[in-house]
Chains A and B, each alone.
Chain A
Amino acid sequence: MSTTTADTAGTGTAERAPLPWRTLWDNVVQAALSLVLALVVGGALLLVSGRDPIAAYRSLYYGAFGTTDRFTETLVKATPLLLVAVSVSICFRAQVWNIGAEGQMILGAIFSTWVALHVKGLPPLLHLVLAFLAGALGGLLWSLIAGVLKAYLQANEVITTSMLNYIAVYLLAYLVRGPMMDPQGFNFPQSPLIPEELELPRLIARTRLNVAFLVALAAVLLALVFWRSTWGRRTEIVGASRRVAAHVGLNVPRTILLATALSGALTGIAGWGEIFGLHFRLIEEITRGFGTLGIVVALLGGLNPIGMTIAAFFFAALVVGGNAMERNANVPFALVDVIQGCVILLVLSRAYLFKRSSS
């Protein structure tokens, strides 16, 4: 048995060619309305806790879009969100409820950093590519654990992937204190820095926006192509009904494995991007929250590549702006979480709450 969860968020199942624009538009309108509602709720909470909502939201907006620097931060945050969302959307369409992005990202980071540190004597570009592939491989292998357990032993992936997340966190903790610890690092839990020539080039000087962002956009293109491909179609059929898929001659376990593998590879790449674009060494907690938010982004984007791009950008703005609001408007950090939770729940309920407005 599979964990099947129907999504109401307008996953196009009609052969109206690749993108159901109309559904997408409805989604955007409804999402915007629910966002407004969430901000109203958040505003009320701000008032209750004695803050000025207008000032707070102004600093949120400023924090996310105010200057080029702020805006690039939003894009930086959108990068892993987008990669994770594209990745999980593949699994989700196959009805594999992989919530293990967190762990897969960690493994991607571990593998790619290992290659950066331990493979010697390669020209930088080749070295970087190899590290990239290693990152993909790390994520792929970690996600395949759950994939194999699911495809051949029917182990529920919601559970296995969430357990694997914990295991990955402790594995990383172990590595940065043990085998991969920086010997010159005064026992700090981190690896040595990767060679400087492997750092991803910045797209805009003095900002953190780097090539990983382009990789995320490439993943979106890849997803657009994927859903027009026979492989994508096989994945969808297996997702829609394991039984029908078997009857029309598809190899169901293999399709599940391929979907989890592809998904894991993309998430692993997200881990690679964080290390090679931002941190330049293995540290703990690099992925906190991306797994969850990436999943949210995927579903709010209706598992549609374009929808997810919008959602990723939006959530990145919310997070970056939220953090700024916390810093500059003296809003308690917990309130930012509350607003985020409200946004998620309201946006999820959008089709119900705003039924009329879009039909």
Chain B
Amino acid sequence: MITVEMRGITKRFPGVLANDHVDLDLYAGEVHGLLGENGAGKTTLMNILFGLYQPDEGEIRVRGEPVTIHSPADAIALGIGMVHQHFKLVPPFTVTENIILGLGGWGFIDLAAAQREIAAVAAQYGLDVDPTARVQTLSVGVQQRVEILSSLYRGAEVLILDEPTAVLTPQEAESLAITLRRMAEMDKTIVFISHKLEEVLRVTDRVTVLRAGRVVYTSMTRDTDKATLAREMIGHELTSLERAKVLALAGDEDAVLSGTTGASAATNNAPNLIEVRDLHVRDDRDLPAVRGISFQVHGGEILGIAGVDGNGQRELVEAITRVRPIQSGQVFIAGEDATHWKARDFIRHNAAYISDDRHRDGLIFNFDLSRNVTLKVFDQQPFARAGLLNFPAIVRFARDLIARFDVRAPGPHIPAGKLSGGNQQKLVVAREFSQNPRVIVANKPTRGLDIGAAAYVHEKLLEERARGVAILLVSSDLDEVLLLSDRVLVMFNGQSMGVLRRGEADPQTLGLMMAGTPLTALRVQEKVS
């Protein structure tokens, strides 16, 4: 049964045709994959279905009835729910408060009853959440469950998930997949947006590919494959060489990159560029987050930090990049004691930092691209002379970066907030790589990137490594860590569970360590058995 029909949906933004006569059918009981490069128009299309944006043209029917969806309230009334890429929860509220928000009139709240109901719905779909917890204390994965629960509690028949797995650990992604399948069995309709092709093939029943705002391909999932999807996403305008490369990437990135990944450029006498000694750091709530970590990263080496989100990775990175105070222990950058540096000293020592939260830390959304790419260098030659800004130089620099890093934007003067998520990330990466750094600290650098862009960033990281740069790479994406790292340190509860060399690191061992088993204990077990 068709639940939603979108016909001829067109949406224009200044300088961009985000959706161009899009037709989309959604059936009850299916998980529908929505694919496309960064900026293809996926989020826009779904925002229209959810009533956040109004289409310029086109028609929507829900269960056969033509409807106009003016606002999320209308969408909810039609049984449509959406979980955004950037969660829309009220952090200081409890789970229950977030879920009942906007429901049941204006009168008194019966908290106990609400909690009971929520627990019931949660049980029905196998979603594990504590209804009394404050959202700001929850991990990203749990927050996502709260969002899903919130839609289901509202009686959503159609649930849109915008890149739900981008922020999840493999385990969390797996449990999400199970939940989605279960919902499909209950005849719900699910729209699943993702850049991870394997996942899409595994989880969905049908897929639609958007390119430059247009639907270019729709198929039953079982009738398609990675290569086809990748080709449809990228389109035919590319040179055959590029296409071959991207297709290869989509098929087996490892193989393509093997030429560079194989051997680390680091030799024993390569300088030790990042060093951390017995580091202790506290989190925003002033609780210990990093508890005695030590490691070194040499020039020409990538050290991966694997771990389930929220085990102190962010605090570790922020302490090294000097945006967070150090409780005790020491940090050395390029041989210098950086423990008492400021963020500015870190930057001045030719060190780059890609934060995992571009919204909060990386970009200023209402600054245009040229301002954003020069945030760290505007007061240096040639962008400033005698304390005055050199606007032509700044704009030239921005144009150049935008072109080199393939940021899809109408020009250097549009606000960063108007870019699609993936292109925002590219902008951050471009900025950080632009100054030929000696040290790179990257926290989830490919978050939200499409396959082409992610591969590009990976390639860049390896190029930098080849230049002799020391790279600290934090990621909850195991594939990424395994693909790029020379060594992998697994973090659990603020401590190191041990360091694995390339080759030693297999997903299973990593999984155990990420769950809190130290490597030494594993080795002991091995010997015993």
- Asked whether A185 is an interface residue with its Cβ less than 8 Å from the other chain, the reply is no
Instruction: Tally the A-B contacts, defined by beta carbons under 8 Å.
Output: 79
Are B388 and A228 in touch, CB under 8 angstroms? yes
User: In the bound complex, do residue B355 and residue A233 qualify as a contact, i.e. CB atoms below 8 Å apart?
Assistant: no
Task: Tell whether, in the assembled complex, residue B389 and residue A249 are in contact, meaning their CB atoms are under 8 Å apart.
Answer: no
* Chain A, Cβ-Cβ closest to B322: A249
The verdict on A230 contacting B364 (CB below 8 Å), with A13-B371, A15-B370, A247-B355 known, is no
Find out whether the CB atom of B413 lies under 8 angstroms from the CB atom of A233: no
Q: A14-B368, A14-B413, A15-B412 are in contact. Are A230 and B384 (CB under 8 A)?
A: yes
Q: A225-B388, A246-B343 are in contact. Are A13 and B368 (CB under 8 A)?
A: yes
Q: Are B391 and A247 in contact (CB under 8 A)?
A: no
Closest to B392 in A: A17
Contacts of B371 in A (CB 8 A): 13-15
With A228-B389, A249-B348, A250-B344: A233-B379 Cβ-Cβ less than 8 Å: yes
B50 at the binding interface (Cβ < 8 Å): no
* Cβ distance B136 to chain A, nearest Cβ, rounded Å: 14
Decide yes or no whether A241 CB sits under 8 A from chain B.
Answer: yes
Interface size on B, residues (CB 8 A): 36
Q: Which residue of B lies closest to A249 (CB)?
A: B344
* Interface 1/0 per residue, A245-259 and B, CB below 8 Å: 011111100000000
Given contacts A13-B415, A15-B395, A233-B389, contact A247 B343 (CB under 8 A): yes
Interface string of B375-397 (1 = CB under 8 A from A): 11011000010011101001100
CB neighbours (8 Å) of A231 from chain B are: 387
Q: Within 8 Å CB of A240, what residues of B?
A: 364, 366-367
List the B residue with the shortest CB-CB distance to A241.
Answer: B364
Which residues does chain B contribute within 8 Å of A229, judged by CB atoms? Answer: 387-389
Contact B361 A247 (CB under 8 A): yes
A244:B375 contact, CB within 8 angstroms: yes
Produce 1/0 per residue, A263-281, CB < 8 A to B.
0000000000000000000
For A233, list chain B residues within 8 Å (CB): 378-379, 389
A residues within 8 A CB of B461?
none
Residues of B within 8 A of A15 (CB): 368, 370-371, 391, 394-395, 398, 412-413
Most A-side CB within 10 Å, residue of B353, B360, B363, B364? B364
- Cα distance A237–B384 in the bound complex, in angstroms: 16
- Contact: A248 with B413, CB < 8 Å? no
A243–B362 alpha-carbon span in the complex (Å): 9
Cβ contact within 8 Å between A247 and B366: no
Q: How large is the interface on A (under 10, 10 to 19, 20 to 34, 35 or more residues)?
A: 20 to 34
Can you list, as one digit per residue, whether each of B315-354 has a CB less than 8 Å from chain A (1) or not (0)? 0000001010000000000000000001111111000010
Of the residues A13, A246, A249, contact of B376 by C-beta under 8 Å: A249
Query: Within the assembled complex, what's the spacing in Å between the Cα atoms of A229 and B394?
Result: 13
Known contacts A16-B413, A233-B389; A251/B362 CB under 8 A:
no
A229 CA to B344 CA in the complex, in Å? 19
Contact of A251 among B344, B366, B387 (CB under 8 A): B344
A150 is an interface residue with CB less than 8 A from chain B: no
B342 lies within 8 A of A13 (CB): no
Closest CB-CB distance, B210 to chain A, in whole Å? 29
B391 pairs with A249, CB closer than 8 A: no
Taking CB atoms, residues of chain A closer than 8 Å to B395 are 15
**Does B388 contact A230, Cβ atoms closer than 8 Å?**
yes
Known: A15-B398, A229-B389, A247-B355. A234 touches B379 (CB 8 A): yes
Tell me the bound Cα distance from A238 to B363 in angstroms.
12
Contacts of B361 in A (CB 8 A): 243-244, 247
A251 and B321 alpha carbons, distance in the complex (Å) = 15
For the complex, give the distance between the alpha carbons of A14 and B417 in Å: 12
Measured CB to CB, the nearest residue on chain B to A6 is B366
| Chain B hits for A237, CB < 8 A | 364, 367, 375
Report Cα–Cα, A131/B345, bound state, in Å. Answer: 40
| C-alpha spacing A247/B354, complex, angstroms | 10
21 interchain pairs (CB within 8 A)? A14-B371, A15-B394, A15-B413, A225-B388, A230-B387, A230-B388, A230-B389, A237-B364, A240-B364, A240-B366, A240-B367, A243-B361, A244-B364, A247-B321, A247-B323, A247-B343, A247-B355, A248-B347, A249-B343, A249-B345, A249-B347
| A contact set with B: CB distance below 8 Å | 13-18, 225, 228-231, 233-234, 237, 240-241, 243-244, 246-251
8 residue pairs, one from A and one from B, having the closest CB atoms: A249-B344, A15-B370, A230-B379, A14-B368, A249-B347, A248-B375, A240-B364, A249-B343
Given known contacts A230-B389, A248-B347, what 17 new A-B pairs fall within 8 Å (CB)? A13-B371, A15-B368, A15-B370, A15-B412, A228-B388, A228-B389, A228-B391, A233-B378, A233-B379, A240-B366, A243-B360, A244-B360, A247-B361, A248-B343, A248-B375, A249-B344, A251-B344
